[in-house]
């Protein structure tokens, strides 16, 4: 197994027993996530969490005079907390303090990358900001239940994220309401161009379409005094002019640039990137091809997971992707990807690799925040009810049913699920998995939808055929 990337410093001999115990706990957590013969049980995860916290208390006691030391104990401890966090999501304890560790770590990566990239949408910041508030709320709620050491660590990381978030918000603070939609459009185009650049076959027509959109935006922005290049001169001269403007902006960044400068800089980047990727046609320099292939494979697998998440994702599966990305991200030197000889990548390879890295972290963040607060043991039932609810809502949206008999399949399925409960609980053997409230609420919503649809059709039938004695005795009774 590979540790999280980190600088290695000599290990205090007194910490060796702690490291040995943490390595054993990490192995047990990994075996727990790999075992597909049964679902991950709450009692197993909570027991392992308690044992990790015991080791945290021991190491803190040893480091009373060296609080800032970081060695292999810390990297393995981080692995354990990541696995525990994802395991809490797997068992449906999404709103508990240990569950947010992985989300906060991923948000820290995303915020650092947004700061490095210097372009992002206000919506990016709103999403992360809202999630940080949720994490803070879960920490507050967990003060009576969870270790102060864990809560202190989480709150410190949340504070770091908030500080970076505030810096990024300041950077966009001068955007005006009329320029914000145009800035958002430019962010979207630049990301879409980078996505085109990673296709198996370079989509020239699609890139040309984005170029036309950029030209249209350029014309729309001229009344604001925003010009990416002079209208005269050759294509090469225009490109050189934009590159020089962009270089001056990057070399002399402003803490909170004016809206005009912010939009103009991004517009220039978009034009330069179109020319660059059309020239490269998706070809990556050989020294960076291996890293590119790894990142592309991770991105594609994560995107596939996002499409089938409800039915196939065990949140602990994200751990291996996180660690692979962390190793690649932390292998950079001063933000640069280096080849085997220590030479930095050219601008094209640098931006392409960073796009894949950031896109993968963003997908992990999406998968974490969209995880349902339901144990994987109840997910099959939860997913069936979610599908039933969607179907019933579509039926209602389409005008309802023409006969109560059309509701027979829905009633049958709902009653069969309802009959699975024992004393009002969905049991798996003798266990009562987490997420009972979410599943029960969904079941009741479905029953209510069927009842409303049945009532509507019966009232309509009574109004149209007063006194008609059509019998529905063959229907399954409602709850």
More confident residue, 415 or 469: 415
77-92: average pLDDT: 94
425 φ, ψ (degrees, to nearest 5): -115, 145
Residue 3 predicted with pLDDT over 50: no
Residue 479 predicted with pLDDT over 60: no
361-388: average pLDDT: 93
pLDDT tens digit sequence for 13-67: 888 999 999 999 999 999 998 988 888 899 999 999 999 999 999 988 887 766 6
Total Cβ atoms within 10 A of residue 10: 7
Three-point CA angle 193, 199, 205, nearest 5° = 60
pLDDT tens digit sequence for 225-249: 888 765 555 555 555 555 555 554 5
Picking from 475, 422, 416, 478, the residue whose alpha carbon sits closest to that of residue 447 is 478
Long-range contacts of 185-189 (CB under 8 A, 24+ apart): 185/213, 185/217, 186/119, 186/214, 186/217, 186/263, 186/266, 186/267, 186/270, 187/119, 187/120, 187/121, 187/266, 188/121, 189/213, 189/214, 189/217, 189/270
Q: Under DSSP, is residue 428 helix (H, G, I), strand (E, B) or coil?
A: strand
310 pLDDT band, cuts 50/70/90, is low
User: Alpha-carbon distance 326 to 2, whole Å?
Assistant: 11
Average pLDDT of the chain is 87
Q: What is the DSSP string of 231-270?
A: SSS-HHHHHHHHHHHHHHHHHS--SS--HHHHHHHHHHHH
User: Alpha-carbon distance 162 to 415, whole Å?
Assistant: 47
Total Cβ atoms within 10 A of residue 127: 17
Are 225 and 261 in contact by the 8 Å Cβ rule? The answer is: no
Q: What is the pLDDT of residue 355?
A: 95
């Amino acid at each position: 197994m590979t540790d999280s990337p980190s600088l290695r410093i000599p290990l205090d001999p007194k910490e060796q027993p702690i490291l040995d115990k943490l390595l054993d706990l990490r192995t047990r957590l990994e075996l727990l996530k790999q075992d597909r013969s049964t679902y991950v049980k709450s009692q197993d995860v909570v027991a392992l969490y308690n044992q990790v916290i015991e080791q945290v208390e021991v190491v803190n006691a040893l480091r009373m005079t060296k609080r800032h030391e970081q060695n292999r104990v810390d990297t393995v401890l981080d692995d354990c907390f990541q696995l525990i966090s994802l395991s809490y999501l797997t068992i449906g304890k999404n709103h508990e303090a240990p569950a947010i560790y992985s989300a906060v770590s991923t948000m820290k990566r995303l915020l650092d990358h947004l700061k490095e990239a210097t372009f992002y949408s206000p919506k990016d910041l709103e999403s992360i900001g809202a999630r940080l508030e949720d994490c803070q709320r879960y920490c507050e709620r967990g003060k009576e239940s969870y270790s102060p050491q864990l809560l202190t660590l989480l709150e410190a990381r949340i504070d770091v994220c908030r500080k970076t978030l505030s810096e990024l918000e300041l950077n966009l603070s001068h955007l005006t309401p009329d320029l914000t939609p145009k800035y958002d459009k430019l962010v979207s185009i630049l990301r879409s161009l980078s996505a085109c650049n990673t296709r198996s076959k370079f989509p020239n027509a699609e890139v040309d379409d984005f170029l036309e959109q950029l030209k249209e935006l350029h014309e729309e922005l001229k009344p604001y005094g925003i010009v990416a290049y002079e209208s005269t001169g050759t294509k090469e001269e225009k490109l050189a002019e934009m590159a020089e403007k962009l270089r001056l902006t990057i070399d002399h960044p402003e803490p909170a640039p004016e809206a005009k400068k912010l939009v103009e800089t991004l517009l220039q980047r978009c034009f330069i990137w179109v020319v660059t990727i059309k020239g490269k046609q998706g070809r990556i320099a050989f020294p960076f091809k291996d890293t590119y292939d790894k990142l592309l494979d991770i991105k594609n697998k994560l995107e596939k997971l996002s499409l089938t998440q409800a039915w196939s994702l065990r949140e602990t599966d994200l751990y291996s992707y996180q660690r692979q990305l962390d190793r690649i991200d932390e292998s950079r030197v001063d933000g640069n990807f280096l080849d085997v000889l220590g030479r930095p990548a050219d601008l094209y390879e640098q931006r392409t690799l960073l796009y894949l890295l950031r896109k993968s972290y963003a997908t992990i963040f999406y998968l974490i925040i969209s995880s349902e607060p339901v144990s994987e043991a109840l997910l099959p039932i939860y997913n069936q009810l979610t599908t039933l609810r969607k179907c019933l809502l579509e039926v209602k949206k389409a005008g309802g049913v023409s006969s109560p008999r059309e509701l027979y399949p829905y009633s049958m399925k709902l009653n069969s699920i309802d009959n699975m409960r024992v004393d009002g609980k969905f049991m798996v053997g003798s266990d009562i998995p987490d997420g009972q409230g979410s599943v029960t609420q969904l079941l009741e919503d479905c029953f209510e939808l069927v009842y409303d649809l049945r009532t509507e059709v019966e009232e309509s039938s009574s109004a149209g055929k007063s006194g008609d004695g059509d019998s529905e005795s063959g229907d399954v009774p409602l709850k």
